[in-house]
Amino acid sequence: MKLETIIGLEIHVQLKTKSKMFCSCSNAGEYENPNTTICPICLGHPGVLPVPNKQAIEWSIMAGLALNCEIPNHSKFDRKHYFYPDLPKAYQISQFDEPIAVNGYLEILVAGEKRKIRIHRLHLEEDAAKLIHNKKGSFVDFNRGGTPLAEIVTEADIKSPEEAGEFLRELRLIMRYLEVSDADMEKGHLRCDANISLRPVHDKKLYPKTEVKNLNSFKAVEKALAYEIKRQTKIWEDTSSAPEEQGTRGWDENELKTVEQRTKEGSADYRYFPEPDIPELDMDKKWVERIKRTIPELPDALRARFQEQYGFKLLDAKIFSYDLELAQFTEEVISELQSWITSIDCESTSEEILERDKEKFAKLVSSWMLTNLLGLINGAGSAIEELKITAENMAELIAMVYTGKINKTNAQILLKEMFDNGGDASDILESKDLGSMADDGSLDEIIDSIIRTNPDQIEQYKAGKESVINFLVGIVMKKSKGKADAGAVLEILKKKLK
């Protein structure tokens, strides 16, 4: 039996407003002692009245627009009833039938193919408190209670665990670009429940789904869904039918499997009804347009621009988009690079040189930014904001490599020095004597000397042992104190040994 996978995601994004959703308590309670950022509204005391956080509503509209959603003219809050220790009111203020945003989509790239994942809705709600279990017992920290959450619900358009992971990564990027959330899964700023079912290929019916919870990383989402595909496939093969009822399972990270928790509730079980204490919302079109104009360049647009404007390959543009600080620093470097390369060709402007050698510059910049510089940053566990290297000095280094003023090996030494201690690239080049060899015949002399003093290796090379030439290149590089260009040395040796 050939089966296809049907996946839909329910994602909660914790908004980083200064205050909570319906009161003035600090929204930074996760960094404070338990039960210190609370008030009678957080605790659901009788007679208290919630007041909606305007910033949270505006940010939810912004997020909806960034996800290509429609913003309805009207919205309202509802009460979602359930009894649990983390919810003192015994109901959660959420949205049921009139959410903030509807009918959106997000495009993702998986295995070189673009996929459009439809978004059913985005609505606002308050978070519940946090339950803490240890050997002494179970405790409730109400600091998190009342935190604003934007819940994003996709259509069942996702076809694989890989697509689910890529969707979440792209969504996290968008939330960070909008600066509405840190969207860190490990810290609970972005939480995901995955609904999954299988059905025979070409069958249009939707069968009972399983909701998988306790997913705290992108890898956990992908692994849990992969496990569920195997588990549900076996049910289909053993019974020739789908699971009998909807259920909820939790992901066990230690056992790498899902475990049964409970049967899945329907909306009727929550006894939704309109929240009587909060006025309904009329979405003024001018207000929505004003919010729309504040949306910055988003990841997909940045990738497209980096390819078009600077000539970067899609994969490189994608890596740049993952770190907005790195992308912005790279643009500063390219801007400074225009000033440095005017010394290369006095007949052309820097813009003409960059356009003429666009592909070469793109490769050079992406190599030095994404491989060399990013490698040093990641190795040191630091960030772009902590760099001691200025955009001007980074551009000067790249210009030196482009003009052959320094070879790649010594350029890496120079970069490491700038990374550790800062400083001007040309000053370090001079003080540490890292510049390329002058074109005065001295390299030819060194190579001729090496050929004369290594007759055994020369004979081995001529006898067909071609790897010996790398040994000779190494000796030349040592004699030249690393100033020679290894590629040039290799070519000269090959010509001479013919």
The CATH number of the domain where 490 resides is what?
A: 1.10.10.410
The strands making up 247-252's β-sheet, listed across from edge to edge, are 101-110, 113-126, 148-154, 3-14, 190-200, 210-215, 247-252, 257-263
SS3 labels along 436-473: CCCCCCHHHHHHHHHHHHCHHHHHHHHCCCCCHHHHHH
Rounded alpha-carbon distances, angstroms, from residue 256 to 216, 232, 474? 13, 16, 49
DSSP 384: G
Please give the Cα distance from 28 to 19 (Å, whole number): 8
Looking at the 3D structure of the chain, how many domains does it have? Answer: 3
CA-based nearest residue to 165, from 235, 110, 205:
110
Question: Is 119 found in the same domain as 68?
Answer: yes
For tokens 């939704």, name the residue: 272
The CA angle 437-439-444, to the nearest 5 degrees, is 85
Distances (CA, A) of 208 to 96, 197, 404: 22, 7, 65
Average per-residue pLDDT for the chain: 90
Separation between Cα atoms, residue 308 and residue 295, nearest integer Å: 21
Q: How many residues does the chain have?
A: 498
Please state, in angstroms and rounded to a whole number, the distance separating the CA atoms of residues 344 and 79: 68
Better-predicted residue by pLDDT, 492 or 33: 33
Identify whether 396 is part of a domain.
Answer: yes
Q: Which of 379, 399, 431 is the last residue of a domain?
A: 431
Beta strands of 221-280 (E only): which ranges? 247-252, 257-263, 273-274
CA 327 to chain centre: 13
CA 381 from centroid of its chain's CA atoms = 17
Q: Are residues 180 and 204 in the same domain?
A: yes
Q: Cα(342)–Cα(311) distance, rounded to whole angstroms? A: 20
Q: Which helix (H) or strand (E) holds 354?
A: helix 350-356
Would you say 316 and 324 are in contact if contact means Cβ atoms under 8 Å apart? no
Contact 119, 67 (CB under 8 A): yes
pTM, to two decimals: 0.86
pLDDT digits (tens, 9 = 90+) for 74-128: 999 999 998 889 999 999 999 999 999 999 999 999 988 899 999 999 999 999 9
Given 249, 273, 292, which residue is the final one in a domain?
Answer: 292
Position 436 in a domain:
no
How confident is residue 441, by pLDDT bands cut at 50, 70 and 90? low
Biggest alpha carbon–alpha carbon distance for the chain: 97
Residues 184 and 204 placed together within one structural domain of the fold: yes
271 and 376 inside one domain: no
Q: Which amino acid is at 467?
A: S
Are residues 409 and 264 part of one domain?
Answer: no
Answer yes or no: do 100 and 197 share one domain. Answer: yes
Pair (34, 70) in one structural domain: yes
215, pLDDT greater than 70: yes
The strand pairing partners of 353, in sequence order, are none
Query: Residue 440 above 60 pLDDT?
Result: no
Same domain, yes or no, for 151 and 45?
yes
Give the H or E element holding residue 172. Answer: helix 161-178
Q: Please state, for a pLDDT cut of 70, what percent of the chain lies above it.
A: 95
87 located within any domain: yes
232 alpha-carbon distance from chain centroid: 31
In a domain, 480, yes or no: yes
Residue 345 binned pLDDT confidence (cut-offs 50, 70, 90): low
Q: What is the pLDDT of residues 54-73, one digit of tens each?
A: 999 999 999 999 999 999 99
pLDDT at 436: 60
CB neighbour burial string for 162-196, b if at least 16 within 10 angstroms, e if fewer:
ebbbbbbebbbbbbbbbebbebebeeebbbbbbbb
Q: Taking the CA of residue 233 as centre, how many other CA atoms within 13 Å lie in the half-sphere pointing to its CB?
A: 12
Residue 362 scores a pLDDT above 60: yes
Give the range of the structural domain holding residue 326, as residue numbers without chain letter.
Answer: 299-431
Q: Which of 264, 292, 320 is the last residue of a domain?
A: 292
> Are the C-beta atoms of residues 37 and 25 closer than 8 Å to each other?
yes
Same domain, 247 and 331: no
Identify whether residues 419 and 486 lie together within a single domain: no
93 and 175 both lie in a single domain = yes
